[in-house]
A = this chain, B = another copy of it.
Amino acid sequence: MYQATMHSSELLKGTLQTIVLKILADHGKMYGYEITQRVKDLSDGTILLTEGALYPTLHKMEAEGLLKTETVLMGKRVRKYYTLTRDGKSVVQEKVREFAAFMKTMSALLNLQTA
């Protein structure tokens, strides 16, 4: 298994879905492992999604109709590609907006000048 921890561990709680959905919105069709790598890159190695967190979340969002899948055989290896459904696309927007609002609120609370 590949390495799987992160710096500010608990802060990530509740952001996993938002991250995954947004990555899919920006990049289109992707498979699980690819998502972990992209998140790792975009976060300069600070966010390393664990498989135990990612796969159940993907399954859950698929069950909720936010994602649809397509299984492809690469040689003898299985890849499961995920794409946003129409519902998924509107949920991403909500989630990102919600997170932006959250950041703004936190900036006020913590007296940060960022926002």
CB A41 to nearest CB in B, in angstroms, measures: 10
What's the tally of chain A residues with a CB closer than 8 Å to chain B? 38
Could you tell me if A110 and B106 are in contact, using CB atoms closer than 8 angstroms? Answer: no
List which A1-31 residues lie within 8 A (CB) of chain B: 7-15, 18-19, 22-23, 26
CB A15 to nearest CB in B, in angstroms, measures: 7
Task: Say how many copies of this protein the assembly contains.
Answer: 2
A-B residue pairs in contact (CB < 8 Å), sample of 24: A7-B98, A8-B14, A8-B98, A9-B14, A10-B14, A11-B13, A11-B14, A11-B98, A11-B102, A12-B14, A18-B110, A19-B109, A19-B110, A22-B109, A39-B109, A42-B109, A43-B108, A46-B101, A99-B110, A99-B112, A100-B110, A103-B106, A103-B112, A114-B114
